Amino acid sequence: MHQLLLLGSLWLLAAPPASSIFQRPTGSPAPPRLQYLLEPLHTAVHTQRGATVTLPCVLRTLPRNYRVKWSKVEPANYRENIIIITNGLYHKNYGPLSPRVRLRHSHRYDASLTITDVALEDEGRYRCQLVNGLEDESVSLTLHLEGVVFPYQPSNGRYKFNYHEAKRACEQQDSRLATYQQLYKAWTEGLDWCNAGWILDGTVHYPIINSREPCGGRLLLPGVRTYGARDKQKDRFDAFCFTSALQGQVYFIRGHLNFKEAGQACRNHGAAIAKVGQLYSAWKFSQLDRCDGGWLADGSVRYPITTPRERCGGLPDPGVRSFGFPSKELRTYGTYCFTG
């Protein structure tokens, strides 16, 4: 039986600051004042998938024989992956971000990093480090994507994913495993879900707004409840996925279609049957509102509601409603299509 760490109380669950990766231990001396780098005016930069965004890093002065190194901290293992290194005259790009990054270099003191065609995996912590012998110093910034978190489970029931399967399932639905910060924000915005799910760092949580018996009991205060870190191979839960804005459109085709016919109907229009993440994105960013259940690529049937009303499920809050995974031979529903 899984051991539950009861961190549901509001006062226990203040969201960790985004800069916590680089925070110094309590009681340690304050870092020296920056000599060469300007403190950024804002340490958090907000954007959407598909956009072009710049992370600021500006020098006060140009020391002799210096380098500037940009790196990204990966939340799953806290390793820093180098993105780009420059000496002011020449630069070299590294890693998977290489084709989409450049230095803004709007003036000789500017070492800001520009990322084009922002992807879901670009969210996270970045560091601009000036390397100058014994006087190295750095600034840290966080790139936040505007998006939506949704719980996800496969057609064969809940608690079927190990960590790697959960990660793959989210990616197959045009999303990725959510970070803790994304799940926490979704909870503050009303996400209430009783099933525990994996998130990106390999821990397992579930967000509760309305305390109730099947979800830890009525006595626990609302909060993001946690099972902590679990065995990524052996332990099985659902997944919490995160997606952002689409570069495309989701639309509904009315009809009485089985699953195979639904896919063909989309292809007949030069589109593809929509993925779950694409439907959530259209609901969140394009205010898609349909009272009609429609097939999606994973074999589920769902419909998006932005204006709740009695005849569309009767629930008081906006959301993407689900009919689960009906028989693929059933000719009851239309289909949601995506065109990019």
Which strand (E) or helix (H) includes residue 261? helix 259-268
* 321: three-class secondary structure by DSSP: strand
Is 90 exceeded by the pLDDT of residue 285?
Answer: yes
Superfamily for the 147-243 domain: Mannose-Binding Protein A, subunit A (3.10.100.10)
Mean pLDDT, rounded, for 175-192: 96
The per-residue pLDDT for 7 is 37
CB 236, CB 158: distance < 8 Å: no
The per-residue pLDDT for 73 is 87
Mean pLDDT, rounded, for 58-85: 88
Distance CA 169, CA 177 (A): 9
Contacts of 306 (CB under 8 A, 6+ apart): 283, 287, 288, 289, 318
The per-residue pLDDT for 75 is 64
Query: Residue ranges per domain, the chain?
Result: 37-145, 147-243, 245-339
- Smallest CA-to-CA distance from 271 within 333, 340, 171, 334 is with 340
* 18: three-class secondary structure by DSSP: helix
Distance CA 98, CA 78 (A): 20
Is 50 exceeded by the pLDDT of residue 254?
Answer: yes
Distance CA 172, CA 18 (A): 27
Is 60 exceeded by the pLDDT of residue 16?
Answer: no
Task: pLDDT band for 18, please (50, 70, 90 cuts).
Answer: very low
The per-residue pLDDT for 76 is 62
Task: pLDDT band for 11, please (50, 70, 90 cuts).
Answer: very low
- What mean pLDDT is reported for the chain? 89
Mean pLDDT, rounded, for 135-145: 93
Better pLDDT: 15 or 321? 321
Share of the chain above pLDDT 90, in %: 79
- Smallest CA-to-CA distance from 76 within 21, 152, 139 is with 21
- Smallest CA-to-CA distance from 251 within 148, 158, 139, 336 is with 336
Is 70 exceeded by the pLDDT of residue 28?
Answer: no
Better pLDDT: 34 or 260? 260
CA dihedral 268, 270, 276, 277 (to 10 degrees): -170
Task: pLDDT band for 215, please (50, 70, 90 cuts).
Answer: confident
Mean pLDDT, rounded, for 151-169: 97
The per-residue pLDDT for 293 is 97
Is 90 exceeded by the pLDDT of residue 31?
Answer: no
The architecture of the domain spanning 245-339 is Roll (3.10)
* 213: three-class secondary structure by DSSP: helix
Task: pLDDT band for 182, please (50, 70, 90 cuts).
Answer: very high
Asked if 147-243 and 245-339 have one fold, the answer is yes
The 10s digit of each residue's pLDDT in 107-119 is 999 999 999 999 9
CATH 2.60.120.10: does it fit domain 37-145? no
